[in-house]
Amino acid sequence: MLRALQGHPEAARLWEEHISAILKDVGFKNTEHKKNIYTGQFCGEKVLLVRQVDDFALGCRQESTAKSVYSKIGAKLTLHNEAEAPFEYLGSVDSFDGYDVLQTRDYIKLSAESHIRRLLKAHGWDKPSPRKSINEVMVKEKVEPSRRRLLNEVRLFMGFTYLSDMCNAAGTHILPEAWNCQRQSHTLRSHSWPNFKAPGRQAKAAWQSLLQSLFILPGHFHRQLASPLGEWLTPLDSH
């Protein structure tokens, strides 16, 4: 380990061999199905240890047991030229390997809320633009009541509420099933959405006319949006 450089192709293997030997030496053994979970008897109680590379979490009844195990592992990790163990005791677990851990007297809750929030912030999705509903678009475009009833035949049958419901994940095209008024697996099924009958020919024509006039590039066969969604839904929902 004295010659294992971080980032070297062999470093991971050397660390794995090194820490596995230490954990075995202090009294841990691998569980049968998960090699990164260990079990052992310390201070008169059963202790579980989960390891993710160099992050450790202990499961035991007494904090004194956790500190004892921590001291044993730390002593083995300490090199001859180190005054202190390169191993920090952080107390009760509140996060591990990207998961939030909430421990109470009655239950333990695991969630990925913090990780998801960091992910959303990294991609600029933490403050999405407000989405406009299809009804709002029809009001703004001053769609007459008779035509609105035809459009609602499609909207209610398909289960569409927002304009984004009709677009692909990349935000560049109207989905073929949205154009053709065909229910697919991503839309609500009849058991969870009112069982409206399929829209008629007039309703389908009115729907396609609305999409074509407001959003789709003229004459584009694949229903490409005139303006891609960009930052979530701003260009599409601005109509």
Tens digit of pLDDT for each residue in 93-106?
Answer: 898 888 899 988 89
CA dist 239 and 224 (Å) reads 16
State the average pLDDT over residues 169-184. Answer: 81
% of the chain residues with pLDDT over 90: 19
pLDDT in the model for residue 235: 38
User: Is residue 77 pLDDT above 90, yes or no?
Assistant: no
Euclidean distance between the first and the last CA atom of the chain, given in angstroms as a whole number: 62
pLDDT in tens, 3-49: 556 677 788 888 888 889 999 999 999 988 888 899 999 999 999 99
At 234, the pLDDT band (50, 70, 90 cuts) reads: very low
Residues 6+ apart with CB under 8 A from 115: 98, 99, 100
Task: Give the dihedral sign, CA 76/100/130/222.
Answer: positive
Q: Would you kindly state where each structural domain of the chain is located, as residue ranges?
A: 11-91, 134-237
User: Is residue 231 pLDDT above 50, yes or no?
Assistant: no
pLDDT in the model for residue 69: 92
The type of residue at 214 is L
Q: Where do we find the tokens 């913090």?
A: 114
User: Is residue 239 pLDDT above 80, yes or no?
Assistant: no
pLDDT in the model for residue 21: 92
**Burial 6-44, CB ≥16 within 10 A → b, else e:** eeeeeeeeeeeeebeebbeebebeeeeeeeebbebebee
pLDDT in the model for residue 2: 56
Candidate CATH numbers 3.60.15, 3.40.1350, 3.40.50, 3.30.310; the one for domain 11-91: 3.30.310
Ranges 15-19, 50-54, 122-126, 151-155: which has the least confidence: 122-126
Residues 6+ apart with CB under 8 A from 152: none
Residue 58 pairs with which residues in a beta bridge?
49
In the three-class reduction of DSSP (H, G, I as helix; E, B as strand; rest coil), residue 42 is classed as strand
Determine phi and psi for 50, rounding to 5 degrees: -115, 135
CA distances from 131 to 90, 144, 186, 194, 223 (A): 43, 23, 19, 23, 21
State the average pLDDT over residues 135-153. Answer: 83
User: Is residue 135 pLDDT above 60, yes or no?
Assistant: yes
% of the chain residues with pLDDT over 70: 81
The type of residue at 107 is Y
Ranges 40-49, 105-114, 162-171, 190-199: which has the least confidence: 190-199
Of 184 and 89, which is predicted with more confidence? 89
State the average pLDDT over residues 66-71. Answer: 91
State the average pLDDT over residues 112-141. Answer: 75
Q: Do the beta carbons of residue 229 and residue 166 sit within 8 Å? A: no
Q: Do the beta carbons of residue 47 and residue 41 sit within 8 Å? A: yes
Average pLDDT of the chain is 80
Closest listed residue to residue 153, CA positions, set 211, 212, 201? 201
Ranges 100-114, 123-137, 190-204: which has the least confidence: 123-137
